[in-house]
Amino acid sequence: MRRSKPQPIRNKLDLADRTQVRLVRKRLGLSDAELTSIVERIGNSIAAISKEAAPQRATTLPKPDDVLPAAVIASAAVGEQAPPK
């Protein structure tokens, strides 16, 4: 007899499957601790996890380039000076 391979449930996160956890973490931009805490609070539904992770991503600002703030202010001030009349 041939037994069919059990198909995974597509909308549930299996925390025992390291590959699935890694892919979800990478897609949502979460750390292991953040993903674990969300799953403990919300559950293992991928839709619920992504909905919960969206506000966290929105509040996280990207790191600015390595430009000194004084240099940015000085360059903006030079560009805004009005020509003499």
Name the pLDDT band for 77 (thresholds 50, 70, 90): low
User: What's the pLDDT at 18?
Assistant: 92
Give φ, ψ of 5 to 5 degrees.
Answer: -70, 130
- Give the predicted TM-score (pTM) of the model: 0.57
Name the pLDDT band for 49 (thresholds 50, 70, 90): very high
Residues 61-67, mean pLDDT to the nearest whole number: 61
Higher pLDDT, 68 or 74: 74
Q: What share of the chain is helix, strand, coil (3-state, %, to 5)?
A: 55, 0, 40
Query: In angstroms, rounded to a whole number, what is the distance separating the alpha carbons of residues 49 and 83?
Result: 55
The predicted-structure confidence for 1-16, as pLDDT tens digits, reads as follows 688 877 777 889 988 9
